[in-house]
Structure 1
Amino acid sequence: MAPPAKKQDTTSRARLSAVIKSARDIMRKDAGLNGDLDRLPLLSWLLFLRSFDALEAEREVFGEDPIIKPEYQWRAWADDETFTGAELLAFVNGKLLPELASMRSDVPGDPRNVLGQVFAGVQNRMLSGYLFRDLVNQIRSIDFNSSDDIHTMAFLYEDLLKQMRDAAGDSGEFYTPRPVIRFMVEQTFLKLGESIMDPACGTGGFLVEAYTELFPQATSKVLQQQLFNNIRGIEKKPLPFLLCMMNLTLHGIPSPKVLHANSLRVMIDEKGPGSQVDVILTNPPFGGEEEDSIAKSFPSGYQTRETAWLFLHAVIKKLKQGGRCAIVLPNGALFGEGIGAKIRKQLLEDCDLHTVVRLPQGVFAPYTQIPANLLFFDKTVPTKETWFYEITPPEGSRGYAKTRPMRYEEFESCAAWWGGPDRADRIENDRAWRVPIADLLASGFNLDLTNPNTTDDLSHRSPTDLLAELIETEQEVLSLLTSLQKDVEDR
């Protein structure tokens, strides 16, 4: 039976890839859309409405009332092929989108609140009602009642998100490479029934990976609903929030528990054990400055505008006693004096910082060359010792770039060394070393520690190697500029 299923998946993927390509070709013709940063949000909310209409049809089968008023449901206007041109645009811009954005409910979990959040900042930038009709007709061909179409569409949508990340430039701060996400989720050893949160969820990479990891264990409707409720996120920016909601919906979560809000404000304002979670997986924004009102809402002595430090402090408070966290932090958050040192001290005293994985430079290229680290800690007992593990580029490679990204296989040696949920039988080697808490305290809580087993620095490298690396870097820059030029010409 396996070969026919594989053939069916291949056919479905090829068909849906053609649909998406046609949709993007249509959008390229419209003067109101300027690149993928305009096209993908439009495609996302149309896909959202198409998939939501499938849920509405399912509700009708069970005799439940519709969420969206009949005249605004997808089938009422999208399936009427004579409804086009200026009349269609006037309806979408003047009636449909305002109606969806105004939806609210006082009932927790009501899909109206999801719709209201998703469409609060949505605008239709297409200028041609005839091209808009052509686009809608393409999306109508996707069958959201078919599990094959839903599964394949989710896969293709992730590919679209990656392409958007490549087009986002400076906006790429909310994307994390898939291998990094997968490794962090796997080494957190998630359990069904735990509340899992990403307070800077971007397009939902961590949440989708966590959901995918746990869904096979949810063997009943009750367990599935529990899992839906336990996957939670917060996202400040409207564009990634919209993409996240679509991403989670396509992966099977009918009413994603994602807030469109400033997560630092939410985490500081929410108090008490009921607001805490079991697991946090996140890559918070770093290198930026938070607004004064947010910084001043933090306790005295912890008030700073550096987002990485604010997030670390808030995450510690957000975890339940016994909870776990995996977080991406830049090198700059691991050393220095002042408030940063105070927050690191809090981390070591309130939590067991058991592992720091040091990533090589370029993992987040081309969006930033700032080296990053993965911190894993449990909110259980104070830290007694911290293990450091250095990930190095593959042999023969000097780093990473857009055309040469990090692969999941490069985490395999670290995963094998990890020692399972209990981190048993860890040993020091050329990549792993252990630092007792006394040494960390003596260093002023400095976590920016280099591998004591390596001597690979510039002084040990030949001029030939250094020149070759410089030439390679310049070639990568030229390649990126050429790609950018092509994107501009294609618009």
Structure 2
Amino acid sequence: MSADFDEKVLYQVCKWMRNDQMIISDYIEQLSGLLFLKACQESPRINQDDLDIPESARWERLVSDEVRREKSILETYDEMINELQTDGELARNAFNNFNNKFGSETTLKNTVDDIESLEFWDHYEGYSDFFGDAYEFLLEKYADKADGAGEYFTPRPLIHAMVEVVDPEYTESVYDPASGTNGFLIAAYNHVGRKTAGEIAGKERKFLNTPEEGANSYAEQLTGRELTSQTYRLGLMNLILHDIDPTEMTSLRGNSLTREVDQEYDVILANPPYGGNGSDKFPGAWAETTAPETNFLQLIMRSLSQTGRAAVIVPEGVLFRGGAEKSVRERLLDQYMLDCILVLPENSFHPYAGVDANVLFFERDAGGTDEIWYYDLRSTVESIKGSNPLTQSHFDDFIRDFGSDRDLVDRFFSVPVEDVVENDYQLNHSQYQEFSATQHRPPAEIAKEIRHEMSSIDETIDSLLSDSQ
């Protein structure tokens, strides 16, 4: 592939729409609709007939000589969208509430031509991770620039860290009840794919060494649900460009909080929405609240299998507020094993959101929690900002040390559950800083000072002995 083939390639395709004064939320959505049709044509794993995409509404029609010479491409695309909204479940979901916002024949034609001529379609099978990265570069731009779009975007380095330490297996089901653009599910799919990879003709292939038990395709183990039509559409596109067939997994559109729990999952990974104007009450809630983050946490706890485990991002308030949040914390410690709280650096979601957050790692365990481990990435880490973005390097040590002897790791400290109970079940790390080794001076610094003092003592003794002679 050429040297100039980089993650900005899809962003560059949008130049015609930007030149036409289309706002970023519109041109990302319009590009996604077109990419959906093109990727369905090109993917070696996805069959357009299986997706029930009508032949008259496929990519081939947009680039056909008939349309280019005899018809309006704008009118043709409108006809295609209408068909996609009425035929085939996946296409209906993907194009639900979708409108053609191209203002001119030239802008649509140039955008379609640029998509058609992208170099990487000839390399789709071997480079699906790259295509996904290029699309996620777009999503990151969208989350940064579009009003309110950052609410569903989770920084990819944090997703990677959470998936790495939770370490899902091929035989385990994975669920995200607020799936957004499907970042967690894609990361879980790729993680398990690498764990089961093998080699064919000198090339690594995912899922070659899978166990006999379990699903025929690992995608069957994945379930996600997303509320908004636009974000759901972006998530479908993200799956397809990562070469994951969305018809093999359970990809749902709707409100997770309005449904009874009718299925349990082995692994749950989530960054639920928070704040806003409140949420629907979760039918399975034992603590009544309108805070969406608290309702989602209750949903996740209810949805874990008997041996299930979860990694969930929560804003700071969940760890110390009274009322419903305290009730949830009580049950979390009494009926689950809260293994670790990852204290994220200040402003970790910059520039998408300005809230401090933590990640809860817990398992379903009727025996409850004996101690809570904290991994502090806030006290000694510079606040995240444009000049200090959140990167994979922020989490490398955490991933490495998560399964090690935590007593030997400075950033880890543990708190007996009895102390938390006595402290009104508050879990915010600042309440327990006296347990943290990072609050003490580094051993090397202390040793250096002792050596200096011993040297001074030796000099004083030598001087006294010299004077006495």
Paired residue for 2:330?
345
Paired residue for 2:235?
244
Are positions 1:391 and 2:380 aligned together? no
Identity of aligned residues (%): 28
**1:128: Cα distance to partner?**
0.5
**1:76-475 alignment to 2 at 5 Å?**
76-80=61-65, 82-83=67-68, 87-93=72-78, 95-103=79-87, 112-142=88-118, 144=121, 146=123, 147-148=125-126, 150-216=128-194, 217=196, 218-219=207-208, 225-255=216-246, 256-266=249-259, 269-271=260-262, 275-291=263-279, 294-295=280-281, 297-299=283-285, 301-380=286-365, 381-392=367-378, 398-419=382-403, 425-427=405-407, 430-450=410-430, 451-452=433-434, 453=436
Gap change, CA 1:45 and 1:192, over 3 Å in 2: same
CA distance in 2, matches of 1:86, 1:28: 25
Higher helix share: 1
Equivalent residues of 1:56, 1:67 under 8 A apart: no
Deviation string for 1:82-133 (max 9, x for gaps)?
537982212222x211211122xxxxxxxx3221111112111111122211
Equivalent residues of 2:182, 2:235 under 8 A apart: yes
**1:203: Cα distance to partner?**
1.4
Deviation string for 1:299-333 (max 9, x for gaps)?
4x522100111011000011111001000111100
CA distance in 2, matches of 1:126, 1:79: 19
Gap change, CA 1:214 and 1:29, over 3 Å in 2: same
Gap change, CA 1:412 and 1:77, over 3 Å in 2: closer
**1:144: Cα distance to partner?**
3.9
CA distance in 2, matches of 1:44, 1:82: 21
Query: Aligned with 1:201: secondary structure?
Result: coil
Query: Aligned with 2:331: secondary structure?
Result: helix
Equivalent residues of 1:322, 1:379 under 8 A apart: yes
The aligned amino acid for 1:130 is T
CA distance in 2, matches of 1:183, 1:90: 46
The aligned amino acid for 2:267 is V
**1:37: Cα distance to partner?**
1.1
Deviation string for 1:195-254 (max 9, x for gaps)?
111111111211121111111311179978521111221111222211111111111111
**1:290: Cα distance to partner?**
3.1
CA distance in 1, matches of 2:342, 2:54: 51
CA distance in 2, matches of 1:370, 1:77: 44
The aligned amino acid for 1:98 is N
Equivalent residues of 1:357, 1:388 under 8 A apart: yes
CA distance in 2, matches of 1:59, 1:308: 38
CA distance in 1, matches of 2:51, 2:312: 40
Paired residue for 1:461?
none
Gap change, CA 1:149 and 1:427, over 3 Å in 2: closer
Query: Aligned with 1:253: secondary structure?
Result: coil
Q: CA RMSD in A?
A: 2.7
Query: Aligned with 2:360: secondary structure?
Result: strand
CA distance in 2, matches of 1:382, 1:406: 33
Query: Structure 1 unaligned runs (5+)?
Result: 1-7, 104-111, 457-491
The aligned amino acid for 2:170 is L
Query: Structure 2 unaligned runs (5+)?
Result: 197-206, 441-469
Equivalent residues of 1:102, 1:120 under 8 A apart: no
Equivalent residues of 2:341, 2:359 under 8 A apart: yes
**1:58: Cα distance to partner?**
7.3
Query: Aligned with 1:187: secondary structure?
Result: helix
Query: Aligned with 1:427: secondary structure?
Result: helix
Gap change, CA 1:203 and 1:82, over 3 Å in 2: same
**1:385: Cα distance to partner?**
1.3
Answer with 1 or 2: which has the greater Rg. 2
**1:80: Cα distance to partner?**
2.8
Query: Aligned with 2:419: secondary structure?
Result: helix
CA distance in 1, matches of 2:334, 2:289: 20
Aligned length: 418
| Pick aligned residue for 1:39 from 27, 31, 38 | 27
Gap change, CA 1:70 and 1:359, over 3 Å in 2: closer
Paired residue for 2:467?
none
